[in-house]
Structure 1
Amino acid sequence: MSGDQVIDVSGVRLAYRVFGPPAARPVVLLHGGSADSSTWVDVAPALATDHRVYAVDLRGHGASERTDRYSFELLRDDVVGFLDALDLRDVTLIGHSMGGVAAYLTAYARPERVSGLVLEETPPPDPMGFTVPDHEIRRHIVSQLNAPDPAWWDAVDAVACPVLTMRGGPDSFLPQDRIAAMAVRFPHGRLVTIPVGHCVHRDAPDAFVDAVRAHLRHADRPTTSCP
């Protein structure tokens, strides 16, 4: 791993960690709502044996800048800006929970840069009914999960690159049947269950890496980029 780095994306400072050889195909890791890029340190080195891995602190998390506005659309724009600023192409986005929503919205917005998705325990764009916390950042994000933009389903239906949807089984607090229903709507989607709960990459890192590596072998084929 190289040292933590910082980049300015449309006036917002985003911190990120980098693993792996510079010339390898890029993978971008997007953490969940109560985490930061450090959540990936146990799996990123394994993924970086043959990929250039970027683990981003999303706005308001980790070492990235706190702002006065938070939404999934802003997270999407930050990720798009990050890909543009580093000129990353043929990217596989791997998102956990909140980061998964940002990942598929990014793939919809910039299909020419994204060649694959891994969505780990990602809430589908159905009203979730979560209790809204007092935490400044989480309040905005959870409120959107409770009342998602119906247009997010358009993204699910239109993202044409290979998508691996990963769910954590009965120990997860997310509705597993609704995750499965989302998975089958991706034109080139596949569903895998690793029954360890909501944080698969933390609680079953070896199984997580094996599933992601198999998906990367498929997503890295030149003909599978999003149109």
Structure 2
Amino acid sequence: QGTSSMADIGSLELFFRKKGESGEPLIILHGLYGSGDNWISIANELKDYFQVYLIDQRNHGRSPHADDMSYESMAEDLHEFIKSQNLESVNIIGHSMGGKTAMWFTAAHPDKVKKLIVADIAPGKYDTTSPNVKTHKKIIAALKSIDPSEAKTRKEIETQLSRYIDNVQLRMFLLKNIERKEDGCYRWKINIDSIEKNIINIMSGITGIDIPVHVPALFLKGELSDYITDKDIPLIKEIFPDAKLVTIPGAGHWLHAQQPKIFIQKTLEFL
């Protein structure tokens, strides 16, 4: 159960789902290629404690497409969403790209954020030659190589994707972005062209903000992930002096899906 709706965001309308009717508001922001739907199982575990808002960020899920994918614009989307829901202040969980949106928003509007949880992303810039950036470029090329409208079945699309991406878990995650239109044809829900055009923006760091940001923050790192390394800790502490860093054992970048019980436990302990 829960509600779903569209919220007016200036020229955009961001799609969201809501789980839970009592407690403080908790907004969850998904990562690149994701959507709020990826977080429904987590939201169902938290809805007895919070009013949980699962937002589809621009160019993702059921939210509209736009050429601009800067963190400044995505943070402003979030600001308008909070105003549209008449929320005074919120808790935020942001994963990967959503974590950077959450950090940017928190720095711009610290009075609006009670507590911040950043899941497996650092505030710094990711070098264009890094393995993570190369992986994203490979994913984008794979998605662009496939025309879902020509496929008769989802299995056919998966077979095509498997030629480029051999990781089954990643492939299944990406295929959640396929939907079937009323005419029976398949299509990508995400705006692949905009993501490709903005990939350097998406990999950029949190810059041009007033620091330090004195909001309680928890950074959750996947033990098997290299998105947060020891060299990132000084910058985390510089921007968020009150931040705590906790490592989730046995988890990679998608730590909430790989170790959901530990993720829920650490979230509840902090919030």
Output the amino acid matched with 2:270. H
* TM-score, structure 1 as length reference: 0.86
Aligned equivalent of 2:265, options 196, 210, 213:
210
SS at match of 1:58: coil
**Matching residue within 180, 185, 200 for 2:255:** 200
Task: Map residues 1-227 of structure 1 onto 2, 5 A cutoff.
Answer: 1-21=1-21, 23-129=22-128, 130-131=133-134, 132=137, 133=140, 135-148=192-205, 150-151=207-208, 154=209, 157-169=211-223, 171-185=224-238, 186-195=240-249, 196-216=251-271
The structure having more radius of gyration, on CA atoms, is 2
Deviation, structure 1 residue 12: 0.2
Contact persistence 1:126–1:145 (CA under 8 A): no
SS of alignment partner, residue 78 of structure 1: helix
State the one-letter code of the partner of 2:2: S
On the 8 A contact 1:167/1:192 being kept in 2, the answer is yes
Q: Which amino acid in structure 2 is aligned with residue 184 of structure 1?
A: K
CA-CA distance at 1:50 after TM superposition = 1.3
Superposition CA RMSD, Å: 1.8
Residue type matched to 1:165 in 2?
F
Unaligned segments of structure 2, at least 5 residues: 142-191
- How far, CA to CA, are the matches of 1:56 and 1:104 in structure 2? 16
User: What is the percentage of aligned positions where both structures have the same residue?
Assistant: 27
Q: Distance in 1 between matches of 2:12 and 2:117?
A: 25
- SS for the counterpart of 2:41 is coil
- Rounded Cα–Cα distance in structure 1 between residues aligned with 2:89 and 2:242: 16
In the TM superposition, what is the alpha-carbon distance from 1:126 to its structure 2 partner? Answer: 2.6
Give the direction of change, closer, same or farther, for the CA distance of 1:5–1:147 in structure 2 (3 Å limit).
closer
Cα distance in 1, alignment partners of residues 204 and 6 from structure 2: 33
Q: Deviations over 1:117-170 (max 9, x none)?
A: 00001132233322344532322443024444642xx45x4221100001112x
Is the contact between residue 114 and residue 216 of structure 2 (CA under 8 Å) also seen in structure 1?
yes
CA distance in 2, matches of 1:89, 1:30: 18
Alpha carbons of structure 1 residues 124 and 112: separation in structure 2 relative to 1, 3 Å: closer
Q: Give CA deviations for 1:156-190 in whole Å, capped at 9, x if unaligned.
A: x4221100001112x22424224433433312100
Q: How many angstroms apart in 2 are the aligned matches of 1:53 and 1:149?
A: 26
Q: Distance in 1 between matches of 2:102 and 2:198?
A: 15
